[in-house]
Amino acid sequence: MTIILDVPGGSMASRPAHFIWMLDCSGSMGVNGKIGELNFAIREAIPEMQQAAQSNPAASLLVRAISFASGASWHIEEPTPVDRFTWDDVHTYGATDMGAAFRMAAAALQTPPMPQRALPPVLALVSDGQPTDDWRSGLRAIDDTPWGKRAVRVAVAIGDDADKSMLKEFLGNPELEPLLAKNPRQLAAAIRWMSTAVVKEASAPKIEDAAPVNVSPVVPLTKDETDIW
């Protein structure tokens, strides 16, 4: 797969790199403070995300977010330049309609509204449970878009109840595994990694795609950590 670099302005032109959070806000995320820790982790990762974007002026990082529970909605609908990106907390409200979130993301990955020339988008999925709707049709909708096929996909499974096999299918690459967060510290590390290492990988201009992003944060549990999900 080839990314064309002959954009107006030559090699110094900045191209958009879209980053879309897809966040599970089902009722189970309200247990043991998961949703609060997720909000905190994203908010704390923003400065590092901004620094990662600043290190590559050839990319213009645009961030938005989808929340899903009983249905899905844009939490942040407008693609927002990362230097102006702020976080308003998401809240829990019902089931786990992940397929609805996938279909919403797929609509955003059509051209238009996506430009014909851009850097590969990032789809960052975070969930603590199992989908309650037809997620496979939603995933097919993503795969049916040109940008969906080229997207860098990462996923975090919060706790042991998350459907890790489904998250692996979302990643679309047998070499990749979802990140596993069993406590707040692991979740913070996973969100920080998704917001920095993945952004750098996706926004780095290159002639041919590099190997898949498959380096995950290793945050072992320690004996004194009692807050386990």
pLDDT of 187 reads 97
pLDDT of 14 reads 82
User: Cβ contacts of residue 209 below 8 Å, gap of 6+?
Assistant: 1, 3, 120
pLDDT of 58 reads 86
pTM of the model: 0.87
Taking the C-alpha atoms of residue 38 and residue 45, their distance in angstroms, rounded to an integer, is 11
pLDDT of 204 reads 66
Q: Measure CA of the first residue to CA of the last residue in the chain; give whole Å.
A: 40
pLDDT of 10 reads 40
The torsion region of residue 186 among left (phi > 0), alpha (psi -120 to 50) and beta comes to alpha
User: Cβ contacts of residue 103 below 8 Å, gap of 6+?
Assistant: 72, 137, 138, 141
pLDDT of 56 reads 86
Domains of the chain, by residue range, sit at 35-118+138-203
Using alpha carbons, select from 221, 184, 226 the residue that is nearest to residue 29. Answer: 184
Integer-rounded Cα Rg, in Å, for the chain is 17
Residue that is written with structure tokens 């449970």 in the block: 129
Mean pLDDT (10-residue bins), the chain, 229 residues: 36 80 97 96 96 89 97 98 97 97 98 93 97 98 96 96 96 94 96 88 55 48 58
Is residue 179 a contact partner of residue 155, using CB atoms and an 8 Å limit? yes
Using alpha carbons, select from 128, 100, 161 the residue that is nearest to residue 30. Answer: 128
Taking the C-alpha atoms of residue 199 and residue 53, their distance in angstroms, rounded to an integer, is 7
- Classify residue 208 by its DSSP letter: B
Beta bridge pairs of residue 59: 15
Taking the C-alpha atoms of residue 157 and residue 180, their distance in angstroms, rounded to an integer, is 5
Which helix or strand (DSSP H or E) is residue 47 part of? helix 34-54
Domain 35-118+138-203 fold is Rossmann fold (3.40.50)
